[in-house]
Each structure stands twice: as C-alpha cells, then as structure tokens.
Amino acid sequence: MAGSIDVMLRELNLESVESLPDDFDPTAVIKDHVPPVINGDKLGNGKEQVREIVLGRNVHTSCLEVTEPDDDDEVTGEREAQMASVLARYRKSLLERTKHHLGYPYNLDFDYGALSQLQHFSINNLGDPFIESNYGVHSRQFEVGVLDWFARLWELEKNEYWGYITNCGTEGNLHGILVGREVFPEGILYASSESHYSVFKAARMYRMDCEKVNTLISGEIDCEDFRAKLSLHKDKPAIINVNIGTTVKGAVDDLDLVIKTLEESGFTGRFYIHCDGALFGLMMPFVKLAPKVSFKKPIGSVSVSGHKFVGCPMPCGVQITRLEHINALSRNVEYLASRDATIMGSRNGHAPLFLWYTLNRKGYRGFQKEVQKCLRNAHYLRGRLTSAGIGAMLNELSSTVVFERPQDEEFTRKWQLACQGNIAHVVVMPNITIDKLDDFVNELIEKRAVWYKDGKRKPPCVASDIGQANCLCELHK
Amino acid sequence: MAGSIDVMLRELNLESVESLPDDFDPTAVIKDHVPPVINGDKLGNGKEQVREIVLGRNVHTSCLEVTEPDDDDEVTGEREAQMASVLARYRKSLLERTKHHLGYPYNLDFDYGALSQLQHFSINNLGDPFIESNYGVHSRQFEVGVLDWFARLWELEKNEYWGYITNCGTEGNLHGILVGREVFPEGILYASSESHYSVFKAARMYRMDCEKVNTLISGEIDCEDFRAKLSLHKDKPAIINVNIGTTVKGAVDDLDLVIKTLEESGFTGRFYIHCDGALFGLMMPFVKLAPKVSFKKPIGSVSVSGHKFVGCPMPCGVQITRLEHINALSRNVEYLASRDATIMGSRNGHAPLFLWYTLNRKGYRGFQKEVQKCLRNAHYLRGRLTSAGIGAMLNELSSTVVFERPQDEEFTRKWQLACQGNIAHVVVMPNITIDKLDDFVNELIEKRAVWYKDGKRKPPCVASDIGQANCLCELHK
C-alpha cells in the first residue's frame, strides 16, 4: 500500500517526501490539468487579431497573455528574464503617462519608499476597524488613527463616530446612501444631476426611488428645483447626496442652503444627508469661504477619497458616519458574532498605512499649504487660457478648470484630460507645477492654430456648459 | 496690489515665489487651520484611558494617533526617526503574526520583490477592464490577461465572457447576485445557511426575498430541503448561491445536483446560479472527484479570491460572468458614455499585477502541485488530531480541518484560528508546512492536558457540528 502511494507520488512529481497518512488517496488529484485553449483569438502567424472597441463587446487588443511555463523554465531562467523585460517596459510607460497627466484628480506626487518593506505581508483588516478579528496580520491600529484624524477634521467626537477606510469614493457613496436608507427605509433619494454616477448606481442597487435635481451653471445643486422636487414627496423622508466638489466642474453644493430648504419644506427630523467629498472633502476645511462640512450640522455621513488629494498607489477612501446610525445598520445581523457594517468583507490593510504615513508627515498645516498651491496654480491656468482667447471657468472654491474640449483625441489622450460633451477639465493637484501648466497651454495654443487655421472649423461655443460670461467663442467674446 | 499679495504670501509661508494672476485673492485661504481636539480621550498623565471592547461601541485602545508635525520637524529629523521606529516595530509584529497563522485561507507565501518598483505609481483601472479611459496610468493589459486565464479555467470563450478583478470575495458575491437580480428582477435568492455572510448582506442591500436552505452535516447544501423551498415559490425565478467551499467547513455544494433539482422542479430557463468559489474555486479544477465548475453548465457567474490560494499583499478577487448578462446590467445607464458594470468605480491597478505575476510564474501545473500539497498536509493534520483523541472532520474535497474549539482564547489568538460555536478550523494553505502543523498539534496536546487535567472540564462534544462519526468526546469515542 505504502509502496503504491510512493509510485503515485513520484509520478505526480511532488518535491517533498514526507510520510503520508494511510487514508490519503493520491488518485484523488488530477495528474496534469492544463485546460484546453477555448478560443485561439490569434492568427496563424502569432499576431493578435485587431478588434474594434465596440460598446458591449469584449476587447482583447493589447492584453498581456498569461502563458503556461515550460518544464525547463526554472533551469534556463528564460521566463524570469522575459517577465522582467515586460515589467521594465511597463514601468517606462507608467513614468511617461504619470508625467503627462492633468485630467483626473489624483495626486501623483508621493514617496512611500519607507513602506515598501511591508509589501511582503498579506495585510487584511477584515470586517470592522474597531473590533479585532483573530487574524493577526492587520493594520487596525493605523486605520483607527487615520479615522480619528478625519473625525477631528469634520468635528465628530471619538466616541460618537464610526467609519472605515474604503476601496474608493464609490464605496463611500454606496455606504453613506445605504446607511441613509436603513435609517429611513421609505426615504426618497435626491441628488443633483451633476452628482457622481455611483449615486445613481446606488439608487438602482438599493431599489430606492430617486429624484434628480437640476443644477446651476456652476454645477451646484439648484435649491429652488430641490424645493420643488421635495414638495412632490412630502410624505416620505428625504435622503440627500450633497456634492463637495462635483466630478466635472468641481462645484460645491451649498450645504447650509440644502439644510435650510429641507427645514423650510417641513423635513426637520426626517432627512439624512450624505456628503460626497471625494476630492474637496479634504480641501474645503482649508478654504475660508467654503461652506463648512461639520457633524455639528445635521449631516449623516461624509466620504472622501484617499488616492486623490492625499495620493496613494491604489484607490482608497475614508467614510465617517455617526455611531448611532451604524447600530441601526447592524441590527438583524444574527448570523454574525461581530457587527457587519462595512460594504466589503476582507479589506486592504495597506491603504491605512499609506494614509497614516502621509497624514503624519504633512499634518493639517501641510495640507493647507498644498491647498493654497493648488488654488493659486488653478487661477494661473485659468488666466493663461483666457489670455489666449480660450473660454474657461474656475469655481471659486475649486481647483478644477473647465474649458473647451480639444478637437484632437490624441492631444486629449496625451494629457489625459477628462471630457464630457463640449468641455474638458484639468484638475490642479499638488503634483501639477506652473511649468507643466505652461507646457500644456503652449501646446494647446499651437494645436489650436492648426485646428482652426483655415477658419472652416471654429472653436465650440461652451456658453451652455460654463455660462456666457466665461465663453470666448465668436458670438460671446 | 502686487505688493500686498506678496506680504500675504509671506505670511502664508508659501515656499514658491511664482508670479500670480491678478485676480487671485490669497485671503481666501485660511491662515492656520488645525482643528481643535474634540475629545481628549487621554488622562492628564498622557496614558490612554482603557476602554472595554463592547459591541457597538467605538474602541480606541491600541490606535496609533496621527499627530501634527512640529515646525522644526523637518530640521531635526525627529519625526522621520519616530515614524521609522513605529514601522520597524510593526514589521516585527507582522513577521511574528505571519509565522503563527493557521485559521484563515490566506496563502502568506509570496515574493513580489520584482513588483516593488511599481509602488511609486498611482495605478487605477477605473471602470470597465475592456474599455480604456483617458487615464493612462492603468494595468488593464495585465488585468485582461488574468481574466482570460480564469475564463479558460472555467471554460468560457474569450468573446463570451466579461469579468473584472475585484477588491475581495464579497465584491464578487455582490456582483454575481446583482447580475442575477438584474436578469430576474422578481427572483428569489436561495442560499444554504452555511453560505458566506456577504450573500445575506447582498439580499438585504438589494431588497431581495431570500430563502435559507438547510445543510448536511458536511456543510453542503441539502438538496431535499432546497427542493422543498423551491416548491414554495414556483411562480418566481430562482437565483442561487452555490458554495465552492464554505467558509467554516470547506464544504463544496453539489453543483450538478443543484441544477438537477432546479430542472426537476420546473425552473428550466428561469434560474441564475452564482458560484461563490472564494477559496476552492481555484483548487477544485485540480481535484478529480470534484464537481466541475464550468460555464458549459447553466451557471451565470463564478467568483474566486485572489489573496487566498494565490496569495497577494492585499485582498482581491476575480469575477467572471457571461457577456450577455452584462449587457442586461448596463442598459438604462444613460448618464455614462461607457458601460458601468463594476460595483466599484476606481479600481486597484496593483492587484492585477500581483495576480498576473503569480499565474505566469506558477501556471496551471504549479497550482496543481500546490493543491496536492495542501490536500496531503490537511490529511496529515486530521490524522495527527484523531490519533491524539481530538475529534476532527476533513471534507473529501477540502483542505479545511474542523475540530473542537480550544478552551483558551490566548491559544486561539496565537494560532489565529477561526472559530464558530464549539468548533475551530485550520485551513491548510501552501505556506503551511508539516513542521508548522506538528508544532501546532504538539502545543494543542500539551495545552489540553492542562485544560482537562482535573477532569472537571471536559472536551466539548462536537457531534452536532461535524457528525457522531467524527466526534471523539466521552460519549462518542
């Protein structure tokens, strides 16, 4: 019996020769399982078939195939060498792409060298940040430190808040709106039409009725329309998404006016406000004229992204809410010994370390300086654009400069501008210097001279997007 | 005017002296904003107040506070030194905790040194893996390579599947069940009572009716009870969560019997199956007797975790579904130019790199060897436990060994065992060696001799958890 197992094992090419329990049947494992290639997708000459990018179709034009190692790969070292070369090329392209990046609100300027020693560990803060699990390889002590910092920023006491570090801004919005729905199961969701798409995704996922509210030209919520929409559903509580910096125009909803509108419409005690502060949630506290985001006001939750203004290798975010709401969310969870109040189960334990490291190094004062720099550079950019006859808008509390969409997709892709309809934007983050902005504007001016040289094509009118006062098209200049 | 701005700027302590646009008002930024400490939480002597861990209360016993840098920190280097010392201590504790870890299905054995060069980049695969956004710092080419590998494993053609790399097993389940609900909006969710808690969380989030189905003693779904539950809702379609390895007992639901039960109950064409393969989704294909997870059968989606059997510094997972279902999910999304089919928006671009790297190095054959090793070592552990008179269960297709819960919380925490009621488990992963298992069993035997020495306390009976045949308590041995 033992002999036959040994033979099987040799066939199975197992490295180890530890003794085996008698009841183990090695025929239970398949001898050589490499699944057949289902769909070649390659021409005979080894070149990939080029497929068009079609909405709703599966596209594989540039993917890096995972291939099965050859038997002698470990000996020859060929595979290692080939992978190293793929990674080196990839690193080079990342360097280049990082250099020419203006359109997304990501601070690409960080140095986490001191943390690279931790990449060897599988760090997982599964479940609640405040309740330890038996899994010991976690970073809760850092996570709670970061949460305390944000709770202090938004003025909520340590024993009155609950929160966690999320995977991205969307998870913050999904969580905030879910908390709102659990507090008011019959509530209607109100959000301005310029809210992030994750807000409308939440409504659909959670099967909530949703009212889209109009916006002003700045991108802020139109509280007159909000009042009208509220009056349609006076019998149901209200759950409101308030934007602290919209995605496209960087507009900040007037939180105080939203609250006033709710109270005047008779919703006192029957509303829940989630503040989506993806980008500006961390900038606003340092801007004098900004409506203050504070739990001293009747708000329910605030979320902010960690990979945006702070900067982080991977997306992450912070969600802070009132502890009393979490107790509501966690009732009825009989199947768990602990409370289950996060959207995700296993949670990235590295993100808290990155945030903790940056917050500790920069402090509130460091962020304040960076906010000043960003606002100043954004003003500089707006000034350079308008001097060159390019219509542009910059909201007072924002570092997002909105202007006409460039006519050339290649230019847009090179500078990684985010576009919507006739407009594009640059979000001035701490890593965007005056030099970089000058390079960008100079190239844009040069290109425009080509695009519009014969007078056949004309710069688009953007009055309906950013207002007549900001438009410099033929009609409005 | 320019003069006064300069004075303001000097006061604001800005480092740069770049020229400023005339319309920039530096009084718009707050001069020194450090929020007040809201709640001291410390006694006068600087020691933290010790708080009890109470369910539903905010606990801050061991957190590492983020403190505001002093003005001279950059000069003295004190802060850097202090942070380095915190991180060094943390690293030491991670090393120790990683060494004594048995209870969670995480493969802690990986070496991603070759990828540390990429930690400097903010890599974000926002949105759909198959549709490029303008943000250039992404890793979609690696992500799609990984997805192809899994689609091949589960036998779905390249142009018929859709999928993405998720943040964890929960996100896979949330996605799979959401797809099921969008395909059958009136569908009832069926899941065995030993399903992962995220399945029931999904039902609550999505406002779906949910039927809990009984399990056999092995932890598998009881298809007789499933048939009975189905007969209660013959008029509504069925959405079923099938476990490919339950969390506690590692039980594998009989997919073929589930399908047969559905068809015999008249649900042909009116059901959607999501396979939760968090751990075993990647092991099963290499085990001969296992029910095969394959899209050649009428299943809708499969998810698997990436930080479990593969091993990864942070949680991640893979979700694969049929492209036709995604088209259903994405209809009605008028607010996006692209399709919005992922749960999250911004997505970690590092996770695909880790997975791509490991899959390429190990290949299907490498995983097969590791599966063999895990199954063999799990048999070894079960054998050692039962020889020592400790009742234990090991499901045929599993590397999860279930046994009596140790009487001592300290021992449980040291070895990081996951416990539920009277039982605990060890999940034998590739990094768990025979030596480590021997250390564990020897210590357990020693401890038990102490716990049970005077005969007052007795080892618990676990017959109701793992069956009489596996129990070795006084009554059943």
User: Given this model, what pLDDT does residue A51 score?
Assistant: 32
Residue A21: other Cβ atoms inside 10 A: 17
A363 touches chain B (CB under 8 A): yes
Integer Cα distance of B151 and B321 in angstroms: 9
Cβ-Cβ contacts under 8 Å for A382 (sequence gap 6 or more)? A392, A393, A394, A401, B21
pLDDT at residue A31, rounded to an integer: 58
Q: Is B348 on the interface with A (CB under 8 A)?
A: yes
Q: Which of B82, B94, B293, B408 to mutate to test the interface with A (most CBs of A within 10 A)?
A: B94
Give ipTM to 2 decimals.
Answer: 0.89
Which residues in chain A have Cβ-Cβ distances shorter than 8 Å to B23?
379, 383
On whether any CB of chain B is under 8 Å from the CB of A382, the answer is: yes
What are the tens digits of pLDDT across the range B226-282?
Answer: 999 999 999 999 999 999 999 999 999 999 999 999 999 999 999 999 999 988 888
Smallest CA–CA distance from A310 into chain B, residue: B122
Nearest residue in chain B measured CA to CA from A305: B346
Predicted pLDDT of residue B279: 82
Answer whether A30 sits within 8 Å of B348, measured CB to CB. no
Interface contact flag, B345 A196, Cβ < 8 Å: yes
Q: How far is A369 from chain B (nearest CA, A)?
A: 7
**Between B84, B98, B139, which is nearest A137 by CB?**
B98
Task: Please check whether residue B131 touches A, CB under 8 A.
Answer: yes
* A68, A100, A327: residue with CB nearest B363: A68
The enclosing H or E element of A402 equals: strand A400-404
DSSP string, A429-453: -TT--HHHHHHHHHHHHHHHHHHTT
Report the residue from A38, A141, A157 with minimal CB separation from B155: A38
Among residues of chain B, what percentage have pLDDT more than 70? Answer: 86
Q: Which residues of B touch A332 (CB under 8 A)?
A: 204
Nearest Cβ partner of B114 from A84, A137, A144?
A84
A18 contacts chain B (CB < 8 A): yes
Contact B346 A27 (CB under 8 A): no
Instruction: Output the pLDDT for position A48.
Output: 39
* Type and span of the H or E element at B170: helix B169-183
Q: Which of residues 44-83 of B touch A (CB under 8 A)?
A: 53, 55-60, 62-69, 79, 83
Chain A neighbors of B145, CB-CB under 8 A: 63-66
By C-alpha distance, which of A156, A100, A158 is closest to A130?
A: A158
**B435 at interface of A, judged by CB pairs closer than 8 A:** no
Residue A431, amino acid:
N
Closest-CA residue to B324 (of B172, B182, B222, B420) = B182
The answer to whether B115 contacts chain A (CB < 8 Å) is yes
Nearest CA distance, B297 vs chain A (angstrom) = 15
* Helix H or strand E encompassing B420: strand B418-420
Enumerate residues 267 to 296 of chain A having a beta carbon within 8 A of any beta carbon in chain B.
285-289
Cα dist from A133 to A103, A267, B161, whole Å:
40, 40, 36
Q: What is the mean pLDDT of each run of 10 residues along chain A (477 residues)?
A: 40 39 53 57 38 44 86 81 93 93 90 91 93 88 95 93 96 97 96 95 96 97 98 98 94 96 98 93 83 94 94 96 86 56 94 95 91 95 96 93 93 92 94 96 96 89 94 89
Q: Is B401 on the interface with A (CB under 8 A)?
A: no
Looking at residue B417, what is its pLDDT? 92
Of residues B240, B315, B245, the one with CA closest to residue B277:
B245
- Tell me if A359 and B66 make a contact (CB, 8 A cut-off): yes
> Contact at 8 Å (CB) between B421 and B405?
yes
Could B38 and A151 be called an inter-chain contact, meaning their C-beta atoms sit closer than 8 Å? Answer: yes
* Helix or strand holding residue B466 (H, E): helix B463-466
pLDDT at A6: 41
CA distance B213 to chain A (A): 14
Question: Measured in whole angstroms, how far is the alpha carbon of residue A286 from the centre of its chain?
Answer: 22
Least confident of A230-234, B31-35, B104-108: B31-35
> What is the 8-class DSSP label of residue A58?
-
Composition of chain B by helix, strand, coil, percent to 5: 40, 15, 45
What does the block give as tokens for A111?
């140095």
Q: Which amino acid is at A297?
A: K
List of chain A residues whose C-beta atoms are within 8 Å of the C-beta of residue B333: 197
Residue A144's contacts (CB-CB under 8 Å, 6 or more residues apart) are: A129, A130, B60, B63, B64
- Tell me the pLDDT band of B339, cut-offs 50, 70 and 90: confident
In total, the C-beta contacts within 8 angstroms joining chain A to chain B are 502
Instruction: List pLDDT tens digits, range B408-446.
Output: 989 999 999 988 889 999 999 999 999 999 999 999 999
* Rounded Cα distance, A225 and A236, in Å: 18
For B36-90, write each residue's pLDDT tens digit. Answer: 655 434 333 434 333 333 343 456 777 899 988 887 777 788 888 999 999 999 9
Residues of A labelled as active-site residues:
398
User: Does A11 lie at the interface with B, CB-CB under 8 angstroms?
Assistant: no
Q: Which of B10, B34, B119, B125 to mutate to test the interface with A (most CBs of A within 10 A)?
A: B119
pLDDT tens, position by position, B142-167: 999 999 999 999 999 999 999 999 99
How far apart are the C-alpha atoms of B213 and B193, rounded to whole Å? Answer: 6
**pLDDT given at position B287:** 84
- Chain B residue with CA closest to A143: the answer is B63
- The alpha-carbon gap from B383 to the nearest alpha carbon of chain A, in Å, equals 6
